[in-house]
Amino acid sequence: MDKKLLSLLVCPVCKGTLKLDKEKSELTCKLDGLAFQIEDEIPVMMAEEARVLSADEKLAK
């Protein structure tokens, strides 16, 4: 994912910072505990499509 695009994106729920998880191909928001899938290099930024992070994922750096 393009670093410039990543710097512009925020969580659609809380407007917080997103972190790129390259292995899972998703953007995560630790504040809300949500993960937004990246499909064909396009992030799906709809809250209803987001995956809820597990407790371990929320605590991981």
Contact predicate 3/9, CB 8 Å: no
pLDDT at res. 3: 81
How far, in Å, are 4, 19, 20, 43, 61 from residue 46 at the CA level?
20, 16, 16, 9, 24
pLDDT at res. 61: 67
Q: Is 33 helix (H, G, I), strand (E, B) or coil?
A: coil
Q: Write out the chain's pLDDT in tens, 61 residues.
A: 678 888 899 999 999 999 999 999 999 999 999 999 999 989 999 999 999 999 999 888 6
What are the structural domains, with CATH classification, of the chain?
3-59 (2.20.25.10)
